[in-house]
Amino acid sequence: MSERQTIFDLSRPGRRASAAPACDVPARDIDDLIPSDRQRREPARLPEVAEIDLVRHYTHLSTLNYGVDTGPYPLGSCTMKYNPRINERACSLEGFRGLHPYQSEEHVQGALLLMKRLENWLAEIAGLRAATLQPAAGAHGELTGLLLMRAYHDAQGRSPGTVIIPDSAHGTNPASVVLAGYKVLAIQSDERGGVDIGALRAMVDDDIAGLMLTNPNTLGLFDPNIVEIARLVHEAGGLLYYDGANANAVLGRSRPGDMGFDIVHFNAHKTFSTPHGGGGPGAGPVAVRDILEPFLPIPVIVGEAGDAEAGLGDSGAVPADSGAGDPAEAGRLRFDWDRPQSIGRMRTFYGNFGVLVRAYAYIRGLGAEGLKRVSDMAVLNANYLLEGMREFFDVPYDRRCMHEFVVSGEPLREHGVKTLDVAKRLLDYGVHPPTIYFPLIVPEALMVEPTETESRESLDRIIEIMRTVVEEARTQPELLLEAPHSTPVRRLDEVRAVRKPVLRARVEPEGSG
């Protein structure tokens, strides 16, 4: 079978991949089933193929895909780590997989218990009071957190209009701020890659609703001034929001709530190893300080007596500070809709339940010490890779990094090579490129995050491939300018692809050729 053949190329009239049994119910006129104005005038042109052709076609397509199951995926900020298969088995158990979103509460007590425990674990990991699992992704979690911020200020009789965002912020932060009805006020980074404290002192005033921050930030650097930053924001009446995209670096080692953050969103697909990418289901749980708990989205899972504080108890995943018991001890769990200060509902049912089951299995399987080990290895791997790459890339902020780092390919410009060309050439060596041109404050940026799931041998291979590609850029730049050479399709016109995307194959009518 040619690699260029589509399923339509394989089609031959009369071939079938299945055979339907004879109809054993009385036939009915099609007009009785489908209104005539909704019926096709011509049959749909579907491919007609045998089962073996169908299987080979889709098996071949599957080999063209690249992911964490086939090779390293060091996308900075995205944390594309391997997803343990046992978590997939857990969420596919019939007791979870077979649930209907609108089953009665008495029939889903196990699911409610899992979600309540997960809420409590996430709140404990964040160092905060309570959490909601409703947000369907990280950006959705950002919006939820900002709406909680707005509800809090409204309840205080305040109407600030601005949210501060660092110039190294994640790309969705500004959009979320605008969507929540606030204005964006950007603050620059200092020479060490952190928030410029002097600039922050000058801009905080009564109009500041809050500050959105990632710590460590998108440069992979921990901001040592976080306590002072929190003090300045709080004294101005604002709240501190933690973008949890980089929480993989601090699990069990530091807690955002202890740093002074009031709102934390987690990316389950980044931090707790649920599937990532493809625009499919995600989860962006949000944890909050006690002053924000009344505003959480409804419904809220509570115990029989309305106790929403049931803690971690003996559940074994992470240590509890609250002293409260396991939610199972609170008796029957239920949804509480009577929350007059709530921001309302952010998601149908209670979020993407299958993703939450995976996150639960991940945390429960690792336990407190395992979560610490995740962060330890993520930071160790990133620093190991940084030391190997600093020989042939510029390091604009030369500090010990956390779970990711940013280097610059600016020196390669003298050979006519851009970071984009480096990324394309990496594909020929079977390594997915790191994030490029982000954050914007670093010219020709490569943002690299190896994750804790890559072995030392894998990291050594990445370093050697990077070394080879940089040497090619200096001696044979045309190799990079024309890359990739070995992928199913060669270099695309990316500007045209964005402006004029081709979303489907155009099949010529039968008999036209």
Domains of the chain are: 368-499 (3.90.1150.10)
Give me the helices (H) in 204-302, please: 226-235, 256-259, 268-271
For residues 266 and 79, is the Cβ–Cβ distance under 8 A?
A: no
Q: Which residues of 79-91 are buried (b: 16+ CB within 10 A; e: fewer)?
A: bbbebbeebeebb
Instruction: Report the run of H or E that residue 239 belongs to, with start and end.
Output: strand 239-244
> What would the pLDDT profile of 80-90 be if each residue is shown by its tens digit?
998 899 999 99
Q: Pick the residue with more confidence: 347 or 317? A: 347
Mean pLDDT of 147-155: 98
Q: Residue 100 pLDDT more than 80?
A: yes
For residues 312 and 319, is the Cβ–Cβ distance under 8 A?
A: yes
Mean pLDDT of 6-11: 88
Mean pLDDT of 15-37: 85
Q: Residue 320 pLDDT more than 60?
A: no
* Range of lowest pLDDT (22-36, 92-106, 363-377): 22-36
Q: Residue 442 pLDDT more than 90?
A: yes
The confidence band for 305, taking pLDDT boundaries of 50, 70 and 90, is very low
Residue 459 tokens, joined: 């990291």
Q: Which residues of 279-300 are buried (b: 16+ CB within 10 A; e: fewer)?
A: eebbbbbbbbbeebbbbbbbbb
DSSP class of residue 317 equals S
The confidence band for 311, taking pLDDT boundaries of 50, 70 and 90, is very low
The 3-state DSSP composition of the chain as helix, strand, coil percent (nearest 5) reads: 40, 10, 50
The confidence band for 121, taking pLDDT boundaries of 50, 70 and 90, is very high
pTM: 0.88
